Structure 1
Amino acid sequence: MMMGIIMRSVKLVEMLPFSVMVVMEGCTILLTIWAKTSMTEYDMSPFVFVVYTHVLSSIILLLYSFVFHCKNTSATQQPLFSFGLFVRCFLLGLTGIAVSQNLAFLGLSYSSPILVCAMGLMLPTFSFLLSIILRRTKTDWRSSSFQAKVVGTIISIMGAIVVELYKGPYIRPSSVLSSSSYSVLFQKAGQYLVFSSPATEHWVLGGILLAGASISVSVWNIIQIGTMKLYPEVEVMEVVSYYSLLGTIQCVIFSLFIERSLSVWKLKLNMDLLLIVLTACFGGLVRSRVHNWCINMKGTHYVPMFKPFGIVFATIFGVSLSANNLHYGSVLGAVVTGVGYFTIMWGQIKEDEDEQCVNHNDQSHLESANSEAKVPLLEEEIGV
């Protein structure tokens, strides 16, 4: 009896991170569709949306960092406002917020959430290509992990090309679901939510902008890893708050040059304001905290594995909200990109496992050598 309760409790604990990550991806797609609706139906500028979202997000992060990490600040040996860290945080804010976010939401305004998902899955591909260009990865063709990354890169690029250039016929909801209560609920929601732009959309331009956003995030990842290695004494949330503030300032300066009309910047007490608040809270604090919690429980590769779930949610919402906004080609290309994404992730996991085995063997040889080196010393002491 007690053993059965314990086993059920263990299964629930194991299912909790999985369920939470699936919910996170679903919320991300819903907020993406909502943002698409605001930019298409209510003419909200993507630049204004990014500025207001990150202003609020930076305030939340600064308050969170001050409340929960102020005690650790005095204990850090590395000053937070050193010039070297300022330059790195400036670049993190530029690549991770100012460039990537503006390109992402501008690309969304020209395309749809399914294309956002597909180009988001290109992130490991761009990171792998950048690591080769910067010579951070050795081109070992005999390694199975390197081969998997190359194959996954080719598959991802093929999927992205399909998403960009081939749409195919519209996907229409089945007649079985049309009479269900869930279908009626989605049809009512579809009267207020817009999944895709009209037929005159600049789909290819949107894809290029989204690809540019993924490249910017790849550069941000490289800078972030180097920053945390160079400044291990600084709290992670302090660095996040610091570069978030700098990135927000960059967004404000950049957007003021583009959107000079004051009417564009005026906010009303409507659903757009609620969208900004929810996006800032979710993207700025909730998602990062949940991801860190799952990584601590399941490891570094657990969270990235759920990113392709966005394709599933985007397809479901796209079919349910409107019959004439989602194409077979878009879904097919996104699925192919997802296959490439998982292939690259498998190669990365295999590479990390091989490195751990090498490090473990090196440590074992070192311990063995140390023990052998100690034996003659002991014998000399006894001989004396």
Structure 2
Amino acid sequence: MTMQKREAGQSGMGTSPGVVWEVVPFIVMVTMEGSTIALTIWAKTIITKGMSPFVFVVYTQALSSITLLPYSFIFHYPDRGQSNLFTLSFFLRLFFMGLTGITISQNLAFLGLSYSSPIVVCAMGLLIPALSFLLSIVLRRIKIDWRSSSFRAKVSGTIVSFMGATMVELYKGPLIRKSKLSSFSSHLSQNRAIKFLIYSSLPEYWVLGGILLAASSLSVSVWNNIQVGTVKQYPQVMKVVSFYSLFGTIQSAILCFFLERNLDAWKLKLDTELLLIVLTAAFGGLLRSRVHLWCMQMKGPFYVPTFKPFGIVFATIFGVILSAVHYGSVIGAIILGMGYFTVMWGQLKEEEASAHGVKSVEYSNSEEKVPLLQEDENNIV
């Protein structure tokens, strides 16, 4: 009897850490999504106050590159015998990764944020799998086969995603609840859209903001296709991230010099602007990439993308508390989330079939296996 109790106690002690490690990645990922939305709302606040979105991208990416570059060499220090870094083809890949993954996508995303709201940012970010699927068809990386259940799921999810995006764009609907903080902010300043970290948007620019964010998602989808071959050529992923971030910073700076002729736009205030840039660079450049890589290594490649729709939940909660959210935006975002999960389910079925040796006429789209962590993130911070 005593031996049985002892064995039971030892068994219980053995399973407890396993249960904890099942819960920890979930808590970490939910926290990461909540932090992303909080920083997005804060960025909306700073940009609406007058900071140029193009300057914001340059400063955050520059600081992120400075942080990532030494860390990537420390992270991959034990690795030996990797591919030569200094090749023309690799530099060309880095150039186009920086162009699509940072210069185009980030600048369009922050500009779109200035015209819309964080919940629209979340919604349009959910278009990335559908756009990647369409891009793969255009590039003939997958074959059209209606007999394949995974292909039908992706097509259905793509249609649903575009229906949700259209609703987010064209139908706002009534307010869920008018925030007292938002009313107080409007009373203090009728022409200013921002006070006390409270965001709002001019309705006439809502559609423009959504279009810019959708274009940003398309740019990320192009980036996805480029990064697959890049990581196959050079598998030290953190170095790839740091170098294409550097390329994107230089490109964004050149773009900003053309778009922002006012030198005063480059002046930083020693207040929440500087704090936000530091936090955004540290979070988006290093912390989020490392955490996502850790979660993918523990739970598999589909674990991290599963949490992306959580951003809609946080954006809705923060919006109701701090500002005002419309029913149309939330309903459209939910429909987009359904399409997102449907496309991801089709991708998962395809990967499972491939893993079990089932012959498929579709091309196995391997970007889901690659831990280069902006793919999940058309989160703009």
Taking structure 2 as the reference length, the TM-score comes to 0.86
Residue number in structure 2 paired with 1:56: 63
Q: How far has the Cα of 1:262 moved from its partner?
A: 1.2
Q: Note the C-alpha offset of 1:76.
A: 3.1
Segments ≥4 residues shifted beyond 3 Å = none
* Aligned partner of residue 358 in structure 1, secondary structure: coil
Corresponding residue SS for 1:202: helix
1:76 equivalenced with 2:81 (yes/no): yes
Deviations 1:56-86 (A, max 9, x none): 00000112123333453xx335221211100
Aligned: 1:352 with 2:355 = no
Pairs within 5 Å for 1:81-92: 81-92=86-97
Distance 1:156 1:360 in 2: 28
Q: Per-residue deviation at 1:2?
A: 3.1
Task: Confirm or deny that 1:121 pairs with 2:153.
Answer: no
Residue correspondences, number: 339
Deviation of the 1:359 alpha carbon: 6.2
Aligned to 1:138: 143
Q: Pairwise CA RMSD of aligned residues?
A: 1.8
Kept in 2, the 8 Å contact 1:50–1:251? The answer is yes
Gapped regions of structure 1 (runs ≥ 5)? 179-189, 362-384
Amino acid at match of 1:259: E
Indicate conservation of the 8 Å contact 1:113/1:196, yes or no: no
Find the aligned partners of 2:347 and 2:58 in 1 and give their Cα distance. Answer: 35
Could you tell me which amino acid in structure 1 is paired with residue 159 of structure 2? I
Amino acid at match of 1:53: T
Cα displacement string for residues 76-105 of structure 1 (whole angstroms, at most 9, x for unaligned residues)? 352212111000000000000000000000
Query: In structure 1, what is the Cα distance between the partners aligned to 2:221 and 2:156?
Result: 19
Q: Within 5 Å, which residues of 2 pair with 1:1-384?
A: 1-40=9-48, 42-72=49-79, 75-172=80-177, 192-199=196-203, 201-229=204-232, 231-232=233-234, 234-322=235-323, 325-358=324-357
Distance of 2:163 and 2:359 partners within structure 1 = 38
CA positional deviation for 1:52: 0.1
- More helix as a share of residues: 1
Partners of 2:62 and 2:68 lie apart in 1 by: 10
Verify the 8 A CA contact 2:116 2:202 in the aligned structure 1.
no
Q: For the residues of structure 2 that align with 1:127 and 1:56, how far apart are their CA atoms? A: 29
8 Å Cα contact 1:94-1:250 kept in structure 2: yes
Distance in 1 of aligned mates of 2:346 and 2:212? 27
Question: Partners of 1:87 and 1:281 in 2: how far apart?
Answer: 27
Gaps of 5+ in 2: 1-8, 181-193, 361-381
Task: Measure how far apart 1:123 and its partner are.
Answer: 0.3
CA distance in 2, matches of 1:239, 1:151: 34
Q: Is the 8 A contact 1:153 1:340 kept in 2?
A: yes
Cα distance in 2 between the residues matched to 1:225 and 1:343: 22
Q: How far 1:337 moved relative to its partner?
A: 0.1
CA distance in 2, matches of 1:219, 1:360: 27
Using the TM superposition, give the Cα deviation of residue 133 of structure 1 relative to its aligned residue in structure 2, in angstroms.
0.5
Are the counterparts in 1 of residues 119 and 329 from structure 2 also a CA contact under 8 Å?
Answer: yes
Deviation at 1:3, TM superposition (A): 2.6
Which whole-Å CA distance do the structure 2 matches of 1:4 and 1:191 have between them?
53
C-alpha displacement of 1:360: 9.8
Take 1:292 and 1:146, find their aligned partners in 2: how far apart are those partners? 28
* Cα distance between partner residues in 2 of 1:242 and 1:117: 27
Distance 1:332 1:355 in 2: 35
Identity %: 64
Aligned-residue offset at 1:9 = 2.4
CA distance in 2, matches of 1:65, 1:302: 23
Contact 1:93 1:246 in 2 (8 A): yes
Asked whether the equivalents of residues 45 and 264 of structure 1 are also in contact (C-alpha less than 8 Å), the reply is: yes
State the partner residue of 2:5.
none
Structure 1 residue 196: Cα displacement = 2.5
Residues 303-343 of structure 1, C-alpha deviations (whole Å, 9 max, x = no match): 00000000000000000112xx2100000000000000000
Find the residue that maps to 2:166 and give its secondary structure.
Answer: helix
